Amino acid sequence: MNKEAIELILKKNPKLQSAQGKLETFKEGAYCMHRSWGLGRIQRYDDIHNRLIIDFGDGKTAHPMDPEFCILKLDILPESNILVRFYKEPKLVEEMLKKNPVNVVVELLLHCKDQTATASEIERFLEHILKDKFKKWWTQTKKALAKDSRIAIPDKKTGVYSLREIPIAPEQEVLEEFYINRNPKKKIQLAEKLYRMADSVQEIEADLPKILGELTTAIQEAHQLTHAERLLGCWTRNDLARHLDTDVDTLQPTSKSLILETKNLSELAEELPSHYYQRLLDLVAKTYPEDWKEVILRLLKYSTNKFTHDCITFLMERDCKELLQESFKRWLDEQSMRASVLLWIVKNRTSRKYTDLSEKLLNHNLLSAIFHAVDYEALNLTGSRRIALAEYLVDDSTLVQDLLKTASEEVACDLAQTLLLNQGFEVLSKRSLLARFIKLFPKVQKLLAGEAEEQKRLVVSAESLDIRKKEYETLINQKIPENKSAISIARELGDLRENSEYKMARQDQDTLLARKAQLEKDISLAAVSDFKDAPTDVVGIGSVVHLFHKASGKQHTYAILGAWDSDPDNNVLSYKTPLGQSLLSKHVGETVKTEIAGNEEEWTIQSIARYVNS
């Protein structure tokens, strides 16, 4: 833009005086970055229409933009900016990205405000060059950045990368923070970070005795630390101590003592980072030399995600295949197999390494266990967390058919009914799975037909809906949590095959979950009516009908009300009852028939009135 054009804009809008410097950068040939459209280059200024003409990528050429709008949306890039250089010298920049990625980030930071940038800002620039390769490149580059003395690394994902005024070894920076910090948990985290950063520990060798002393004190005296946090601190201390040729078994507390103090090893495993799982299993085996197999099997039974795989691999590598096979079968018989173990079994069912573990389990009983585990997960679900086992069952197009090969038609129908009531699957997922049932067992189609019939709206009174809602709240807030607690207590009593308390609690759970599913469906289909619009020329919902009963020769009067309003003792019938259904849409003088206990009954309509007027 020329001087005259800028003066004209400022004259029209004096509030833009502070932006004069930026307007002066909007020159022909200047490269700019748009927050949505990416890199652009200013072609020229159209003084007739007061528009900057800018070429952007992806075919967005000669795009006109108001200069005032550009003040907020465009950042002018200097010629030395790495992105501009890429468009001018692509081969040179590609070589830098490949051979010296840290220098690329340094150059980028040099041109950022205050020489700082968040990870997302770095990505915004470099993804234009690297495109779909950026994530892999950035993952590798971050490791190199952590060891570069010129760049300060953020503690949090939302923090900023910044150039240091005076380069300092990253280890020294973390070491300073370690000495200053008095929070035991943070101190352990910093010590672990130090160990990971200092490959040979030479950079912090002189400080090792002091580090070990402070770390040991933090582990011993910080009672607010969890067992997992203390164990991590102990392991980090031991790793550092070995570089001083110290016998770590003389340092208190020892890792073994922490394991022996832990009442719930499964909870401890849940809190550990996954790259420590192998170390935990090795430690457990050393701590319990006589009973380590039973202890690790117990960890496996209640394990999740990667820890499940690590437990199984650990046992397999120590010739415990038969023990695993027996345990899997027993857990399946007891219906106590958790979702993570089930997911591992079905995922690895075709693996050459693990096929022997699962081949005898692949039947309809395993599918039943999967449905139960998914329902259990849904019952205990918090937030929007997904159920991986449910997703895998839906995504694997052959799994259901593989497991149903051993099922009879009756068993398949029972499983399909269980699926319909399951809380862990979306409606569309249920239909997809049921379609797989139908391929093998066409009779299951009737279940779908029945479900479709039930999806019709239910006309109900406000009072009856309130009763349903209160029952649902009692289920959710009282009965189901109490049942969950009862199952947990019963499970601790021993062998589940002979445990009547456990079986009764599980039966109660099935009943409660089925009722919960039915209430959810009913409430979702409910349409509240006050019955004021009931017709008077034909029988409708909200009608009072005077009937002549042929068999007895007596007259009866019934109010035909909502789906949940039946009260025969007070002459109120639901429109869903056989007589209610027969009367709907009938006129005075018409006769309807019903069947009661095999006997046909005739009813003649004598008069119709509105319930609200009676």
Q: Which residue has the tokens 């006997």?
A: 599
d(CA 66, CA 69): 5
Please state the φ and ψ torsions of residue 610, each to the nearest 5 degrees: -85, 140
Of 256-260, 306-310, 385-389, 502-506, the one with minimum mean pLDDT is 502-506
**Could you tell me which residues come within 8 angstroms of residue 381 by beta carbon, excluding any fewer than 6 positions away?**
387, 424
Instruction: Please give, one letter per residue, the 3-state secondary structure of 218-251.
Output: HHHHCCCCCHHHHHHHHHHHHHHHHHHCCCHHHC
DSSP-assigned beta bridge partners for residue 74? 34
Confidence bin at 117 (pLDDT 50/70/90):
confident
Q: Average of pLDDT values for 333-345?
A: 90
d(CA 547, CA 559): 11
What is the average pLDDT score of the chain?
Answer: 85
Quote the distance between the C-alpha of residue 47 and its chain's center: 54
Q: For 487-541, what is each residue's pLDDT tens digit?
A: 777 766 655 555 677 778 878 888 888 888 888 888 888 888 888 888 888 999 9
Most confident of 206-220, 458-472, 484-498: 458-472
Q: Assess whether pLDDT exceeds 60 at residue 167.
A: yes
What pLDDT score was predicted for residue 225?
Answer: 81
Residue 51 burial (CB count, 10 A): 17
d(CA 445, CA 435): 8
What pLDDT score was predicted for residue 503?
Answer: 76
Confidence bin at 381 (pLDDT 50/70/90):
low
Q: Assess whether pLDDT exceeds 70 at residue 169.
A: no
Quote the distance between the C-alpha of residue 139 and its chain's center: 23
Amino acid at 303: S
DSSP-assigned beta bridge partners for residue 33? 39, 75
To 5 degrees, how large is the angle CA 231–CA 236–CA 241? 120
Per the structure block, which two tokens stand in for 606?
């004598």
Tell which residue, 78, 82, 80, 75, has the closest CA to residue 54: 75
Which residue segments constitute the domains of the chain, with CATH numbers given? 3-155 (no CATH), 458-528 (1.10.287.180), 543-613 (3.10.50.30)
Q: Average of pLDDT values for 295-317?
A: 94
- Where b means 16+ CB within 10 Å and e means fewer, 511-541 reads ebbebbeebebbeeebeebebeebeeebbbb
Confidence bin at 352 (pLDDT 50/70/90):
confident
Q: For 264-304, what is each residue's pLDDT tens digit?
A: 899 999 999 898 999 999 999 999 999 999 999 999 999 98
Contact 67, 52 (CB under 8 A): yes
Q: Are strands 543-549 and 599-610 parallel, antiparallel or unpaired?
A: antiparallel
